[in-house]
């Protein structure tokens, strides 16, 4: 019983917050798995102590071993690559226009990127949908 009380007291005692760091060098555009992360007893501004925020996400830049993995360093896995031809869709007030566009960046679902309309060569800003299409807002 005494051990349980001591263990609970240790858990309740505020200490240094853990920060998730990279267990190995993780190249850019890599899906993060649990084996890529370790917990380190340190506090890092902008860092996180929750590995569930990071597992399954894609690295935006290379993250070196021993460095903190910040939520800003990762994003949703890309479903559109740079220079990929994507459907470009404008839908407003009953008007639906669909054409082909060229993605000018990599993006995951819900991210905003620039897309070039292949018909007019005009560049627009569009949000990537779950289907990989680029949706232009009015």
pLDDT tens digit sequence for 104-128 = 999 999 999 999 999 999 999 999 9
Identify the pLDDT of residue 2.
39
Identify the pLDDT of residue 3.
42
**Phi and psi, residue 61, nearest 5°:** -135, 170
Q: Which residue has the tokens 């501004």?
A: 45
Is the pLDDT assigned to residue 135 strictly greater than 80? yes
pLDDT band for position 16 (50/70/90)?
low
The strand pairing partners of 20, in sequence order, are 39
Class of domain 13-75: alpha beta
115/100 Cα distance (integer angstroms): 10
78-136: same fold as 13-75?
Answer: no
In the chain, domain spans: 13-75, 78-136
- Compute the average pLDDT of residues 67-95: 93
Contact, 1 vs 16, CB < 8 A?
Answer: no
Higher pLDDT, 101 or 13: 101
pTM score? 0.69
> Residues 8, 12, 13, 17: what is their CA dihedral angle, to the nearest 10 degrees?
120
State the sign of the Cα–Cα–Cα–Cα dihedral 126, 130, 106, 68.
Answer: positive
- Compute the average pLDDT of residues 8-37: 76
Identify the pLDDT of residue 46.
76
Does domain 78-136 fall into CATH 3.40.50.300? Answer: no
pLDDT tens digit sequence for 34-78 = 999 998 888 778 788 888 889 999 999 999 998 999 888 998 899
* Number of helices and strands in the chain (H, E): 1, 11
Is the pLDDT assigned to residue 13 strictly greater than 50? no
């Amino acid at each position: 019983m005494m051990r349980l009380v001591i263990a609970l007291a240790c858990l309740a005692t505020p200490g240094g917050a853990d920060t998730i760091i990279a267990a190995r060098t993780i190249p850019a555009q890599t899906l993060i798995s649990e084996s890529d992360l370790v917990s380190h007893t340190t506090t890092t501004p902008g860092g996180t102590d929750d590995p569930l925020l990071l597992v399954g996400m894609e690295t935006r830049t290379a993250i070196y071993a021993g460095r903190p993995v910040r939520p800003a360093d990762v994003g949703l896995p890309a479903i559109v690559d740079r220079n990929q031809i994507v459907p470009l869709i404008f839908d407003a007030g009953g008007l639906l226009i669909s054409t082909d566009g060229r993605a000018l960046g990599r993006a995951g679902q819900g991210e905003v990127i620039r897309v070039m309309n292949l018909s007019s060569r005009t560049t627009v800003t569009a949000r990537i949908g779950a289907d990989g299409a680029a949706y232009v807002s009015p």
